[in-house]
Structure 1
C-alpha cells in the first residue's frame, strides 16, 4: 500500500517552527498556499515537495499568542495523590488574575483557546505552572533542555547524613539512569534548595527518599530565568515581553 502524503499542517509546523494548532489556524484563515493555491481545508494532504507559502499575517497572529504563569498551591492530603491534570480553563480565569500583573496584557477569552500546560509539574508539587499558546515555548519546556534549570524549595523530614548533600548533588541513580549534577543546599533547618537540569517523574521525592528524607512540600520557584516571585498561590499573570524561556 502506497504511503499517504503528509498533512499540510505537519509541513507548515515543520517549516515555520509553530505548533500543529497554530498551523491549523493559519490554514483555516487562508494564510497558507500550496503551489500558489490557497488551501483552507483542515486535514488536507499534500506532496512533501510542493511549494508552501505562508502569508505575513501569521507573524502578527503569533505575536498575539500568550504565555501565562500560574502559581499552583502545594497540594495537601489526598490532593497530592490526584493526577493534577486540571484544565487551563479551570485555573486561568479573569477573577484570579494577579492584581499586580505588570505585563500590560488585557485578558481575552481568546487567550484560553488552545492554552495548554507546558512542561511537567508532579501532582505532589506546587509552584510555577506554565500555560501557553506558543508551540515554541511548549516544545522548549517539554524537551528536557538542560539550559532551562528548574529551582525547587523542598520542605523535608528526616536526618541527612554528613555526606548526604554531596550524594544529592551527584552520584544518585534513578530507574537505572545516573542523574545529572544538581545544585543542593539548605535554605534553613528543614528546607532544601534543589536546582535540577532534568525532569524525571517524582524525581525530588525519590532523590530525598534515597537519602532517608521525606519530601513534605515541593514548590517550583523558578524555570530558567523566570521566577515565581511574589505571585500568590492560586493566581496567575502573563509572561512579560521582556521575559523569555
Structure 2
C-alpha cells in the first residue's frame, strides 16, 4: 500500500524546517548526494513521511521542536529566571519537557500573568517593543486610596532618575486600584506607591497586550491560542513599522539635511 502525500513533506522543506539551512542549501545537499532517507540515496522531489529517518552525511537530522507560547499565572515566591541555582526559578516550577524561558519578568513578591516560550525571536521582539504595549495590574495598598493618589500616579512619578509615563489608574475599592502601564521600569509600581508613602501589599498582573488571566488559577498555565498569537504578531509587526518610521524620520531630520547645510555654510565663509 502506497503512502499518501497528504501525510508527508517535501525533503528540502523538511531539512530547512529543522533550522540548519535554507531550502536552496538543502537542495544542494540533496544534489550532492549527502542526504539519505531510511539509509537510501535521495533526489529532489523526494518526500518525508512520519517515522522516516533523514540523515545528512550519515548524521540523523532532528526535527525542530514545536514552538511553544505559554501563559502562566505566576505564584508569589517564584523567581523569573532560568538560573538553575535559584531553587524557586520559574522554569523548574513549570517543569515542562521543552526548554522554556520567560518573556520579561514579574517580581518575586508579585503574582499574575507572564509568558514563557522556546522561541527566542519573539522574546526579542516583545522586549524591544515592550514600551508600546499595555500591561494591566490590580494593586492593593496598606491604606485608603485618595483622589490625589490616583491623579499623581496617573500623571507621572519621579523614580529611578526619570518621570514615569502617563498611565491609566482607576480606583477599584478603598485599598485597591487598577493600573495600565506601557513601560516596565524595575519594580515600577512599588516604587511609584512608595514615593507617595503607600506600601504595596498585593500586586497581580492581569493582562499583557491582548491576553488576560481569565479563569487561569494561581500556579496554572496554558498554551496561547492561535488567535491570541495572531493578534500578538500583528501588534509586533505594527511596532516594528512604527520603529522603522521613527528611525527614518530621525535620519532625515538630523543627518542628511544638516550635513548639507553645514557644508554649504563652510563654503560661503570661504
Per the shorter chain, which TM-score range? Answer: 0.5 to 0.7
- Residue 196 of structure 1 is matched in structure 2 by 181
Q: Counterparts of 2:109 and 2:143 in 1: how far apart (Å)? A: 18
Deviations 1:66-108 (CA, angstroms, capped at 9, x unpaired): 10111112x2xxx3xx754214243144xxxxxxxxxxxxxxx
**Contact 2:73 2:218 (8 Å CA) reproduced:** yes
Give the 4+ runs in structure 1 shifted more than 6 A: none
The structure whose RCO (Cα within 8 Å, separation 6+) is larger is 1
Cα 1:232–1:151 change in 2 (3 A) is same
Cα 1:217–1:144 change in 2 (3 A) is farther
Q: Counterparts of 2:218 and 2:67 in 1: how far apart (Å)? A: 24
- Residue 238 of structure 1 is matched in structure 2 by 223
Task: Quote the offset at 1:62 in angstroms.
Answer: 7.8
Deviations 1:127-182 (CA, angstroms, capped at 9, x unpaired): 01211122332123322533321000011112444422111001311111111111
Q: Counterparts of 2:129 and 2:158 in 1: how far apart (Å)? A: 18
Q: Counterparts of 1:217 and 1:226 in 2: how far apart (Å)? A: 21
Q: Counterparts of 1:62 and 1:184 in 2: how far apart (Å)? A: 44
Q: Match for 1:208 among 193, 204, 210?
A: 193
Q: Give the length in aligned residue pairs.
A: 176
Note if 1:88 corresponds to 2:91: yes
Q: Which has the higher helix share?
A: 2
Q: Compute the TM-score of the two structures, normalised by the length of structure 1.
A: 0.63
* Structure 1 gap ranges (5+): 1-22, 39-56, 94-108
Note if 1:227 corresponds to 2:173: no
Q: CA RMSD in A?
A: 2.9
**Contact 2:169 2:177 (8 Å CA) reproduced:** yes
Q: Compute the TM-score of the two structures, normalised by the length of structure 2.
A: 0.58
